[in-house]
Amino acid sequence: MVLKRTLIIGGGEGAHYVFHTLTSRATSEYQIIGLLDDCSDVKLNKIPRFGGLNQLKEVVRTEDIECVLLAIPSLEHTKRKQILDTCISLQIETQVLPILQDIFAGKEKIAMRPVAYQDIIERDEFELDYQKVARMVNSKTILVTGAGGSIGSEITRQIMRGNPRKLILLGHGEASIYNIHRELKKAHPDVELVPCIADIQNKERLTAVFETHRPDIVYHAAAHKHVPLMEENSSEAIANNAQGTWNLAEVANKFNVDKFVMISTDKAVKPTTVMGASKRVAEKIVQLFNQMSQTHFCVVRFGNVLGSRGSVVPLFHDQICNGEPVTLTHPDMERYFMTIPEASKLVIQASMLTVGGEIFVLDMGEPIKILDVIHKLIDLTGQKRETVSIEFIGIRKGEKVQEELFENHEEKPVLIFDKIFVGEDNPHPAELVDIQLLLDNYMGFTEQERKEQLFRLVELDWRYEKI
């Protein structure tokens, strides 16, 4: 077997772990040629140090390197990105040790893995002030819906760093709630955790949960968000995204919850799909309840989240790694992207800023061409772009080439905190009646009638004057 000429980046504990792991395997496919580290006196067995991190491009070329192993889990984000960008430009196979916080959180093992979609995000991530989080949640009971999902589970991890009095993990799927409960209990044995299997479509069950635990803050992350599936299952989109949000808002109001934070999507802006329209109706419900409640209701809206359930990018990654054609609807398709941890941190930050009624919109940076994401993923697997087939399968019904973050009628957005905008929009109280009529009658409609009524509610943005 011909071994790959391999360069290790790093000379610390991570690099030693990688070196000894690879050299102890009888079937290892890597030949360690040398290492790069900014510290000139590092030693890694008898492996030569070729220089500092800024010499990566030169060393790859002069030493005929075929594979790069990034083995500095504590490396600062900007430097990590620079190294990965260089590897992309060299179109060389690249593997990484996970960053420390992912190892500590139990989300990744201490082992090399191929570069994934999370590694190529082109932005510095937002950092929470956990002392402020602690002041908000320390003596409070927090409830998270969809707590077993990608966003909901990450919100629970971030909230736990503030040491809440009690955290209620509410979700419909027992396996996912079991897993996040087990993870958090192990990491935070002193915090009271309540795994709660409940469906937000069941108002009686929600009422019992709120009556028992009396939550102070609710983060509402439960939702159906798979666009093509909801296009074919509009009744479920309305039941979960709209009726479920109404149920939660009504119960939160009844039990005098202090803050209610609903997580939304850029697909709710000028929606062209059932999923987007159902989430836009949910936004309206939250803002309308804010007008008549002592609870501070708000919405946090953002775009695609890398690695979340329903995101298409993991599919691209799997297709590339499995040698399958990569399927993309249109070559000009663009989306906003951020990582799960950053989105979750910004949701919590927004909850510390709300005074009620806001639609917070997270600064997603510049939209990214999906085709560019695919090309970067190909480069970092060490494959040549020309060897990976990309099939353009056509835009799906209702799909946009570019997404937007604000409605036309929303006031000019204002940056009120680092990476957080707020758009002013107050739905007319009469819309509450229209929404209730849909929720009371949608199951009696045909599929076409249901969609017509749903989109009619979205168009109320233009039928009623703002208040």
Residue with tokens 């990608």: 150
Q: Are 89 and 115 in contact (CB under 8 A)?
A: no
CA 147 to chain centre: 13
Q: Are 284 and 320 in contact (CB under 8 A)?
A: no
* Residue 94 to residue 68: CA distance in whole angstroms: 5
Q: If we measure between CA atoms, which residue out of 246, 189, 248, 239 comes closest to residue 217?
A: 248
| Selected catalytic residue, list 259, 267, 376, 451 | 267
Phi and psi torsions of 166, nearest 5°: -150, 140
Half-sphere exposure at residue 379, Cβ-oriented, CA atoms within 13 angstroms: 17
Region for residue 128 given its phi and psi (left: phi exceeds 0; alpha: psi -120 to 50; beta: otherwise): beta
Q: Are 316 and 117 in contact (CB under 8 A)?
A: yes
Phi and psi torsions of 419, nearest 5°: 70, 15
* Residue 402 to residue 257: CA distance in whole angstroms: 37
Q: Which residues pair with 297 in a beta bridge?
A: 260
Q: Are 30 and 67 in contact (CB under 8 A)?
A: yes
Q: If we measure between CA atoms, which residue out of 122, 50, 29 comes closest to residue 82?
A: 122
Q: Are 266 and 365 in contact (CB under 8 A)?
A: no
**Which helix (H) or strand (E) is 133 found in, with range?**
helix 130-137
Is 267 a catalytic site residue? Answer: yes
Sign of CA dihedral 303, 307, 399, 441: negative
**Which helix (H) or strand (E) is 388 found in, with range?**
none
What are the residue numbers of the active site?
267
